Amino acid sequence: MELRHLRYFVIVAEEQNVTRAAARLHVSQPPLSRQIQDLEQELGVALFRRTAKSLALTEAGKIFLTEAREVLLRAEKAVQTVRTVAAGDRGQLRIGYAPSLTVEILPRALVAFEHDHPGVRVSLYDLSTEECLQRLSARKLDVALTAQPCQEMLRGLTFLRVKDFPLFCAVSSTHPLARKRTLPIAQLEHERFIVYTREDYPEYHEWLTALFQPYHFQPQAGEEYDSVTGLIAAVEAGRGIALVTASLQHLASSRLKLLPLTPKLPPLHFGAVWKPTAGSLAESFVATVQQISRH
């Protein structure tokens, strides 16, 4: 039995379909099926119940899946540890982040992390949530700081919630609504919303739809922007309103006003996402972010 047998088994178990597993592993289907059969023969037990269209784990298969994942995790951690030691703790940490949510936390976290890991080179990437998750899965990022993704998007990744951000309505200082101290949600029904692009931020649009569903209307998207700077500029220019967190105030000028909403909407959950096998540096940075967010 080799590690590749365990990797193949885990992917087939996750996909419950050899064709999809083969595509994910970039191998052809017949050799993959043979590898799984060889593994079952060596173990002397059936790991899957097979039908014409799908696979399902047997009870033995479920137990073996847990153990196989643990073995692979230990193997990857061993490799990461050896590489870190060999480099004299002068590794690299690649961090994806959402600027509007991390403007307060990220700078302080970087200072604290550098104090404990002075030899580590840190690279920062301004990305959407979906881009962060894709790069984490492809091992092109080590950790990401972003809004909480839906569970379906977190396959093979871990999310740690570190902070909740209350939501506000951002308007230009010259907008008629800017005179209000609080803003009833019902008054947003006919307003023109400035939003992020659906292509780059599909999860943002799903979140926005779910937020307003209890109020029986959907925000009217007026303009779409692919960055927070574009969104801020459009709101400051009076081209519409936007739903934002208070942290946006640190990026905007005095031309932007944040109005509390009534009733309050559910807060935005923010945290760190990483692959369980990312290594000790990623875990140390997550711990640093968690500590910083408490203050």
Mean pLDDT, the chain, integer: 90
Q: What domains lie within the chain, and their CATH numbers?
A: 3-84 (1.10.10.10), 89-164+269-293 (3.40.190.10), 167-266 (3.40.190.290)
Confidence of residue 85 (pLDDT cuts 50, 70, 90): low
Predicted local distance difference test score (pLDDT) of residue 109: 96
Task: Say if CB 89 and CB 119 are below 8 A apart.
Answer: yes
Predicted local distance difference test score (pLDDT) of residue 252: 80
Confidence of residue 251 (pLDDT cuts 50, 70, 90): confident
Model pLDDT for residues 198-246, shown as the tens digit of each residue = 888 888 888 999 999 999 999 988 899 988 999 999 999 999 999 999 8
**For residues 251-261, average pLDDT:** 89
Predicted local distance difference test score (pLDDT) of residue 124: 96
Judged against a pLDDT cut of 80, whether residue 54 lies above it is answered with no
Judged against a pLDDT cut of 90, whether residue 262 lies above it is answered with yes
**Shortest CA distance to 5 belongs to which of 81, 75, 58, 52?**
75
pTM for this entry: 0.67
Predicted local distance difference test score (pLDDT) of residue 123: 95
Predicted local distance difference test score (pLDDT) of residue 90: 62
* C-alpha span between 232 and 251 (Å, rounded): 8
**For residues 258-265, average pLDDT:** 95
* C-alpha span between 254 and 38 (Å, rounded): 67
**Shortest CA distance to 291 belongs to which of 139, 157, 111, 95?**
111
Judged against a pLDDT cut of 70, whether residue 253 lies above it is answered with yes
**Shortest CA distance to 105 belongs to which of 289, 283, 274?**
289
Predicted local distance difference test score (pLDDT) of residue 137: 93
Judged against a pLDDT cut of 80, whether residue 247 lies above it is answered with yes
Intra-chain end-to-end CA distance of the chain, in Å: 49
Judged against a pLDDT cut of 60, whether residue 74 lies above it is answered with yes
Predicted local distance difference test score (pLDDT) of residue 180: 93
**For residues 111-136, average pLDDT:** 91
Judged against a pLDDT cut of 60, whether residue 87 lies above it is answered with no
Predicted local distance difference test score (pLDDT) of residue 86: 63
Judged against a pLDDT cut of 90, whether residue 50 lies above it is answered with no
